[in-house]
């Protein structure tokens, strides 16, 4: 049975960021060099790499952060990462997260699940995939 327009709108308003976030299965230590950061991103097909130290999230490095750097430069993840990245808890409303990303001009958000102490990442590409799914459902 097809959903009414009102039911579709309600389900969109109730969407959480978790539905489109990707689990963080790859990360780097804060002392990781530029060449290794680049290699990790390329091998795993990712554009945002969480940076940890002593099992604590410190920041995030994007492909843009390293794009114009020489692999031989003596820089580490801690030198180029965005510190204290925007973070939300699992279950946050997608509409709130997207609004905040837009206001802050952010390309990604870390999603923390306090139950199992894991992270996921929600990127601008995930937001576009979500929009695509919503638009297809409306037709």
Q: What is the pLDDT of residues 17-57, one digit of tens each?
A: 999 998 888 999 999 999 999 999 999 999 899 998 887 88
Residue from 66, 85, 86 nearest 77 by CA: 66
Task: Copy the structure tokens of residue 29.
Answer: 């230590």
Residue 11 has pLDDT above 90, yes or no: no
Quick: pLDDT tens for 64-122: 888 878 777 789 999 999 887 889 999 999 999 999 999 999 988 999 988 888 889 99
> What is the structure's pLDDT at 44?
94
Q: Facing residues of 16 across strands?
A: 93
Q: Residue 38's beta-bridge partner residues? A: none
Q: Determine the average pLDDT of the residues in 58-67.
A: 89
| Higher-pLDDT residue of 7, 66 | 66
Per CATH, domain 5-138 is 3.10.580.10: yes
Q: Which single residue is written with the structure tokens 């790859």?
A: 26
- More confident: 1 or 80: 80
Tokens of 26: 């790859």
Distance of alpha carbon 80 from alpha carbon 59, whole angstroms: 9
Question: Would you say residue 6 has pLDDT above 70?
Answer: no
Contacts of 78 (CB under 8 A, 6+ apart): 30, 31, 51, 53, 58, 59
Q: Which among 65, 91, 87 is positioned nearest to 76, based on CA atoms?
A: 65
The pLDDT of residue 127 is 92
């Amino acid at each position: 049975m097809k959903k009414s327009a009102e039911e579709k709108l309600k389900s969109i308003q109730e969407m959480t960021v978790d539905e489109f976030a990707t689990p963080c299965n790859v990360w780097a230590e804060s002392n990781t060099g530029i060449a290794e950061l680049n290699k990790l991103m390329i091998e795993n097909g990712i554009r945002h790499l969480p940076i940890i130290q002593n099992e604590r999230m410190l920041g995030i490095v994007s492909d843009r952060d390293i794009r114009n750097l020489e692999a031989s430069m003596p820089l580490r993840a801690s030198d180029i990462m965005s510190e204290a990245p925007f973070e939300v808890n699992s279950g946050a409303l997608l509409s709130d997260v997207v609004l905040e990303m837009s206001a802050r001009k952010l390309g990604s958000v870390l999603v923390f699940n306090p139950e199992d102490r894991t992270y996921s990442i929600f990127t601008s590409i995930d937001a576009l995939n979500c929009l695509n799914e919503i638009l297809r459902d409306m037709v």
